[in-house]
A = this chain, B = another copy of it.
Amino acid sequence: MSKIFEKTLSPRFSETDALGHVSNTTLPVWFEDARQPVFELFTPSLDVHNWPLILARLDVDFTAQIFYGKEVLIKTGLSRLGNSSLEVYQEAWQNNQLAAKGRTTLVHFDYQTQKAKPIEGALRDQLAQYIVEAN
């Protein structure tokens, strides 16, 4: 059975909008935040001057409204581990209900040579533990 990363957060008042729920634009922010442990596998120091990933694509499906005042659980796994790229799959749950799910394509990148870089060795083995099946 795969491992996943879990992060619990409380919606911020400033993340709601005039429709009385959490703004749709907030989900990409939460999902990026919840990918931090993935970033840490690539860059344990989280040093922003040595960042080896490019975001190529993101999508989010909204399945239920999210409200202020109740915690949200973000689950993060990998839905694909390619030669030099990976797809992160994430779900946001509130009140035991799936409220949003999203996928993000990240490319392992060497800024010096300006080329995609294979994901190999121990890093690949660690990432492989988090491969999940996307819904």
Residue A120 is within 8 A (CB to CB) of chain B in the complex: no
User: What is the size, in residues, of chain A's interface with B at 8 Å between Cβ atoms?
Assistant: 37
Question: When the two chains form their complex, are residues A12 and B24 in contact, meaning their CB atoms are under 8 A apart?
Answer: no
Residue A58 is within 8 A (CB to CB) of chain B in the complex: yes
Question: When the two chains form their complex, are residues B58 and A59 in contact, meaning their CB atoms are under 8 A apart?
Answer: yes
Determine chain A's interface SS by DSSP, over half rule.
Answer: mixed
Expressed in whole angstroms, the minimum distance between the Cβ of A62 and any Cβ of chain B is: 6
Binding site for B on A (CB under 8 A): 10, 12-14, 16-21, 23-26, 28-29, 32-33, 36, 39, 45-49, 51, 54-62, 68-69
Question: When the two chains form their complex, are residues B51 and A19 in contact, meaning their CB atoms are under 8 A apart?
Answer: yes
What separation, in Å, do the CA atoms of A120 and B52 have in the docked complex?
42
Contact of A59 among B12, B39, B59 (CB under 8 A): B59
Contact of A17 among B18, B57, B58 (CB under 8 A): B18
